[in-house]
Amino acid sequence: MNYYFSGMSEAEKKVYMLLKAVIFHYHGLDETEKQDLEDTSQKLDAQGALDWALEFISQDYITAFDRARTYLNEIIGDYPKDKRIELINMVWEANNLKGFVTEMEATAMLKLAKDWGVENELISLVLH
């Protein structure tokens, strides 16, 4: 776990778990991703945040990404740039657990990175 994610507030845990969960659900949650969400919630003592994120998504799977994007943009826009980069990088790395990132997942992450003003940083991270 990197420096930012140690000692997270409950609000930050919600952001982190929603971001990870909504990208994982973008194409349909697989078993590896489900396990990663569980492991992450245990590491962060964030079961409540994970439950909240999954409930947020289940309210309407079709609009979950767009609703999450709006929610996250309102909060993450105030984060320092290094934290925004770290969040988008975390999602990229988590998606690589299965050995690949789908085009849909990459597109979703690029949309978020663009919203947060870290698109070039994400591209740089991916290329290296």
Other beta carbons within 10 angstroms of residue 86's beta carbon come to 17
Look at residue 86 and tell me if it is in a domain: yes
Look at residue 110 and tell me if it is in a domain: yes
Q: What is the rounded CA–CA span in Å between residue 101 and residue 107?
A: 10
In which element (H, E) is residue 71 found?
A: helix 64-76
Q: What is the rounded CA–CA span in Å between residue 52 and residue 49?
A: 5
3-state secondary structure of 8: coil
- Parent domain of 69: 9-127
pLDDT at 2 over 50: no
The two tokens of residue 11 are: 């609000």
The pLDDT value given to residue 6? 59
Contact indicator for 53, 91 with CB cutoff of 8 Å: no
Q: pLDDT band at 105, cuts 50/70/90?
A: confident
pLDDT at 3 over 70: no
Q: What is the rounded CA–CA span in Å between residue 35 and residue 112?
A: 24
State the total domains in the chain: 1
Average pLDDT of every residue of the chain: 88
Look at residue 112 and tell me if it is in a domain: yes
Look at residue 4 and tell me if it is in a domain: no
